[in-house]
A and B are shown apart, each in its own frame.
Chain A
Amino acid sequence: MPRMEVEKTFSYPLELTLKNYNDQIVVGFGQRDGIKVGHAVLGINGIAAQGRSLEDGRDVLEVIANEENYPLAIKFGRNKLSTNERLVLTGMFHSLFAIGSQLSPETRSSGIELIETDVFKLHCMQTLTGIKFIVVTDIRQVGVESLLKKLYEVYADYALKNPFYSIDMPIRCDLFDINLQSAIEQSERTGISNV
């Protein structure tokens, strides 16, 4: 998936309101030219930003506040999820799944199976042993149920049968990765031909 990035040269004073959010400098107000609220500062004048500071050690907000530095070429984009954030999100989904089944108005409901938004869909399949397979797709993607079943098959064949894999630990098996990739490629092809 290509990362959406916008680079623009600004003069003093900056038309955007920036704020510090979760150790990232993000746009708080003033959407313009493809720069959206929530986009983070990824770099200034070609120097990549890491969190609140640039790679050369200067603070992003201080550089932007200083009039002498202008004009400035600032690159904005959605920040990529770090491994830690991914773990947080997975934990979050785990509890949402449980609450979704608790708040059910109908008896014996499962947890969340599908979340719909305007740009993506999240499909979740829970196996009898409690393992959840979660796939995030485009809203028009079809045949995700069969993909999830296929993933379960791949997991059973290449992760569980691997003698070096210990259960409930991150999966680091090459064969699993290869087969996962081919299952997803196949699903993408059929998904497009079916649309």
Chain B
Amino acid sequence: TKENNIITYYCKTISHRFQKLFINIQFFLKMCILVREFKTVPLVWVFSKMTIFNLYIFDRNGTCLYYTEWNRRNQSGISKEEEFKLMYGMILSIKSFCSRLSPTDLKDGFLSYRTSKYKLHFYETASGLKFILNTDINAGNMRDNIQQIYSNIYVENVIKNPECKLGQQITSELFQTKLDDYIRSLPQFATKLS
């Protein structure tokens, strides 16, 4: 193919000292192209090790409006109801912890935390709606993405839908598919190849 020709051309022209290195690179690129053909995964994703695990949406009273997961590998070992309560309680505690610990006045307050394996992103609207998104630790700032989910997906498909009762679990299929499509389209969403 054309790509292979270019790579071989460069290998020949550059001095013998670097040739071995370039053969390695060539091999690596070939492997990447192979993976790309067989798995139909864009080349960028081969290098990245990012993924999105799950999303929680809580209202201001602590009821879990929506929960969904994509690549979750570990269940917490308790029922979903209890997990939601634990998660909500933890978020409330972290918020209070941060506001009491802070040396100066907070504006947005708690944004995210990171452990050795995952990163939890938190976004709260002025009306008390809480979005919690768990991603891999390599995912950068997801604040804008969560804001997008809130303004373009939640408001459009839940608030503007008279069938969706406030303060109850979201059952709208339109919302679910829109959210799923949006998350899957993000560059941070890529399953690990391992």
Contact = CB atoms under 8 A, between A and B. Distances in A.
Interface of A: 1, 4, 36, 38, 78, 81, 85, 89, 92-93, 95-96, 99-120, 122, 136
A102 B86 contact: yes
B69 to A, nearest CB: 7
A160 B30 CA distance: 55
B interface, size bucket: 35 or more
Contacts, number: 114
Listed from nearest, the 6 A-B pairs whose CB atoms lie closest are A105-B53, A109-B117, A110-B116, A106-B117, A105-B72, A107-B74
Given A89-B97, A106-B74, A115 B117 contact: no
A149 to B, nearest CB: 16
Given A4-B104, A102-B76, A120-B103, 14 more contacts: A38-B99, A100-B113, A102-B77, A102-B86, A103-B76, A107-B73, A110-B116, A112-B113, A112-B114, A115-B94, A115-B98, A116-B114, A120-B101, A122-B101
Given A36-B105, A109-B115, A114-B113, A96 B98 contact: no
B126 interface: no
A36 B72 CA distance: 41
Contact of A96 (B77, B97, B107, B116): B97
A102 B106 CA distance: 28
17 contacts: A38-B105, A89-B100, A92-B97, A93-B97, A100-B90, A101-B115, A103-B76, A103-B87, A104-B115, A105-B72, A105-B118, A106-B53, A113-B114, A115-B110, A115-B112, A119-B102, A122-B101
